[in-house]
Structure 1
């Protein structure tokens, strides 16, 4: 794994603070309340340090997720670009599977389009066309976003340090080639307990989900990280996230891609 981290005492301290949420079983105080001067670049160092520790403990990086792809979310946090986080093998839930409340803290569910890469993407000059060429298939996905920060009271630096508020993810079983779908016009409907909650379209993610992946490849070059063949890339939410409680069932229907399901239990 090629990750450039700056293992400062500050970085390690913030990473341990976030990890304490799991020991407590609840969210912790926002890092930016403890360290108001924390920059976004320093926050990425906290994220990378945490991922580095997870890998040392036997987990594998299997992909990346892109967050803050909608203008509404960017404006809410006062930023002009998305953010990203890492996907680890232990974050995956099978389609139709169940997620225990022991694995999440404050989960919310989003519908997204996931890219499965067949070639590496190496920034900093990756284009949308490069992404299309490097993609093996796309599948429907549910991302379970989660926050180690109490009550989701986050700034951009907080969510970045917290692995872009990554929790778990679910992929559909029906991969499609890009020649068989229209990414920008693809419609999505998200249901909670069989009741329609919201709808979205591929263009909701920076105008084109493939553009999100290109942004990611170029952003990662700053940290010496490459998108690898075989990785899963969650390209960004197509509509608002919905809160999840034990007993809830979610499913999303995607035009051309089919459905993806997940349930939550105690």
Structure 2
């Protein structure tokens, strides 16, 4: 790693850390450091996560972002990205989230995988993912960004833990027997009004494709997806902005629904 990269990583990490502590959004990191690479960004993310783990937090899983071709085209990329889930990020279903603890949240509906076996790349297949999955659950991801006005490029969101804020898992667990995840449909409601909809096929053709991509990507950093970890496999439709008092519900065919409110 070059001295220049080390400087970028340290400065960007400190900037994001200060933003979180002071609840003040910051300018895009890619404007402050035009030379920042995707590799730099993942190292910034890992530096922040390692510090949180050393401080007592537990990694509960991973999230996958940019799984829709529309979002990839928007950011000019040809692959997804990922971030880490921590125990401090999980919200109980039907819970209430204080808006003051977030920056500029949006809500997405996703299918979450819970693993019963480790998955280690680089050659993980969809079949491997399905074999390693204990069950799936409906989920909501509350994406959030410390970057002002969501003015992000790929390295910005990666450095900011793939814009991960919080997540909610449905209570009921669904084994994969008889489920065709690509055909599962999701409708997202805000305050009872339909916002958008999508299906499992909208994330790289099948949600398990996303998990396979993640396992293989993580192998570049010698990281394994562990048994017991949660994987949020990617938004089935566009993220919807949050205001105080909003209640969101994602309804899934075959998987039921999951809800959360904001106060």
- Is the pair's TM-score, using the shorter chain for normalization, greater than 0.5? yes
Aligned to 2:144: 146
Aligned to 1:249: 247
Aligned to 1:59: 57
Please give the secondary structure, in 1, of the residue aligned with 2:114.
Answer: strand
Stretches of structure 1 lacking an aligned partner (at least 5 in a row) = 1-6
Following the alignment from structure 1 to structure 2, what is the Cα–Cα distance between the partners of residues 23 and 176?
38
> What is the CA-CA distance between 1:181 and the residue it aligns to?
1.7
Instruction: Show CA shifts across 1:155-185 (max 9, x none).
Output: 0000000000000000001111111321000
2:128 is aligned with 1:130: yes
> What is the CA-CA distance between 1:8 and the residue it aligns to?
3.2
Instruction: Give the RMSD, CA atoms, in angstroms.
Output: 1.0
Please give the secondary structure, in 2, of the residue aligned with 1:159.
Answer: helix
Aligned to 2:6: 8
> What is the CA-CA distance between 1:16 and the residue it aligns to?
1.2
Aligned residues: 259
Please give the secondary structure, in 2, of the residue aligned with 1:179.
Answer: coil
Following the alignment from structure 2 to structure 1, what is the Cα–Cα distance between the partners of residues 10 and 56?
19
2:35 is aligned with 1:32: no
The equivalent position to 1:103 in structure 2, one of 98, 101, 104, is 101
> What is the CA-CA distance between 1:14 and the residue it aligns to?
0.7
> What is the CA-CA distance between 1:224 and the residue it aligns to?
1.1
Aligned to 1:215: 213
Aligned to 1:194: 192
- Contact 1:20–1:28 (CA<8 Å) still a contact in 2? no
The equivalent position to 2:77 in structure 1, one of 79, 100, 112, is 79
Aligned to 1:119: 117
2:229 is aligned with 1:231: yes
Stretches of structure 2 lacking an aligned partner (at least 5 in a row) = none
Following the alignment from structure 1 to structure 2, what is the Cα–Cα distance between the partners of residues 74 and 262?
27
- Contact 1:116–1:135 (CA<8 Å) still a contact in 2? yes
Which of 8-17 and 79-88 deviates more?
8-17
Q: TM-score, with normalisation over the residues of structure 2? A: 0.97
Please give the secondary structure, in 2, of the residue aligned with 1:233.
Answer: strand
Q: TM-score, with normalisation over the residues of structure 1? A: 0.96
